[in-house]
Amino acid sequence: MASTSSLRSPSTWVFAATLGLLIVSLWWNLIGAPTEATMGTIQRIFYYHVPSAAAAWTALLLNAGASLWYLIRRSPAADALAVAGAEVGLAFLTIVLITGPIWARPVWGVWWVWDARLTLTLAMWVMYASYLILRQLTPPGSLQPRLAAALAVFFAADIPIDYMSIRWWRTQHPSPVLFGGPDSGLAPRMMTALLISMAAFLAVMGCLVWLRYRQEMARGRLAALRQRQLLLEES
Amino acid sequence: MGSLIAAYTVAWGVLMLYVLTLAARQRKLHRSLQKLESVSASSITTTGPHAR
C-alpha cells in the first residue's frame, strides 16, 4: 500500500520525467545535433558544460536568496534551502571545472589558462567549498547559520561577475552563445540540443535541491527531538 | 571521441556520486531516528504506568 501511494506521489512523476528528459537530451547531444565543422565531436562536450554552469549558478542563486531570507526572518527552512543550494551548486561547478579542461586540452592545446572566466569559476568553487566546510566544522547553534548566511550573501557577488566575465573581458574562453549580442548564436539543431540539455540539467538540479532540502529539514527535526530526549532524561 | 566519453562520464559520475551520498545520509538519518524511537520507547516502558 505504501509503495503504491509513493508511486502516485507527484515527486515520483517529477523524478521520472527528469530522467526521461536526461535520456532525450543525451540523444540530442550525441545524435540529434550536427557535428561541428572545425572541432568535430569534441564540441559536444559543450552540451554538458554550459547547462552544468547554468544549473550551478541557479543553485547558488537559490543559496544566496535563501541566505538573505534567513538573515531577515531566521527561518530554519531558509537555512536548509541555503545548504541544499550550495551543495548542489558545488556538484555542478565540479562538472563545469572538469569538463572544461577536457574540452580545452585538444582545442587550445593546454588544460588550463588563468583567463577571467576560468579563474572566477575556480574561485567560486573554493568559496562554496569553504562555506560548506565552515558549516561542518562550526558547532551547531544560533551563530553558525547566521555566519554562513552572511558569507553566502557576500560570496554571491561572484555569480553575476562570473556570468558577465566573457562579455566584459575578451580573453581565452569562447564568447557567449546565449544573450551574447548580434554575433552570437548557434545552428538551429545545435540550439535545440543545448536548450533540451539546459532544461534537463535544471530539472536535475531542482530534484537534487528538493531532496537535499527535505533531508536537511529532517536532520534539524531529529536534532531537536534528540535534544528534547536529553532534557527529559535529565529531568 | 575519448575526450567526449571522458567528459560525459565525469558529468554522470559526479551526479551519481552525489545521489549515492544523499542515499547514504538518508540511511544514516533513518538509523538515528530508529535509535531515538527505541530509546524513547524503552524510557516510556520503564517510567510509564506499567513499569515495575
Cα–Cα distance, A69 to A77 (Å, whole number): 10
Contacts of B6 in chain A (CB under 8 A): 102
First to last CA, chain B: 74
> Most B CBs within 10 Å: which of A94, A110, A214, A235, as the mutation test of the B interface?
A94
pLDDT for position A23: 94
Is residue B41 within 8 angstroms of chain A, CB to CB?
no
In this complex, the residue of A42, A91, A222 whose CB is nearest that of residue B3 is: A42
In this complex, the residue of B7, B22, B39 whose CB is nearest that of residue A212 is: B22
Is residue B5 within 8 angstroms of chain A, CB to CB?
no
Is residue B39 within 8 angstroms of chain A, CB to CB?
yes
The stretch A57-76 carries a mean pLDDT of 95
What's this model's pTM, rounded to 2 decimal places? 0.89
- Select the highest-mean-pLDDT range: A133-137, A154-158, B40-44: A154-158
pLDDT-derived band at A223 (thresholds 50, 70, 90) equals confident
Instruction: Tell me how far CA of residue B36 lies from CA of A116, A213, A222, B30, B39, in angstroms.
Output: 51, 22, 9, 10, 5
pLDDT for position A1: 41
Residues of chain B falling short of pLDDT 50 = 51-52
Inform me whether the pLDDT recorded for A49 exceeds 50. Answer: yes
**Count of H helices and E strands in chain B?**
1, 0
- Select the highest-mean-pLDDT range: A12-16, A122-126, A140-144, A225-229: A122-126
Residue type, B28: K
> Most B CBs within 10 Å: which of A23, A49, A50, A95, as the mutation test of the B interface?
A95
The answer to whether the CB atoms of A222 and B11 lie below 8 A apart is no
The stretch A76-100 carries a mean pLDDT of 96
**Shortest Cα distance, chain A CAs vs residue B33, angstroms:** 7
pLDDT for position B46: 56
pLDDT for position B47: 55
Give the ipTM of the model, two decimals please: 0.86
* Strand, helix or coil for residue A180: coil
Q: Count the Cβ atoms, other than its own, within 10 Å of residue A160.
A: 11
Share of chain A above pLDDT 90, in %: 68
DSSP classification of residue A115: -
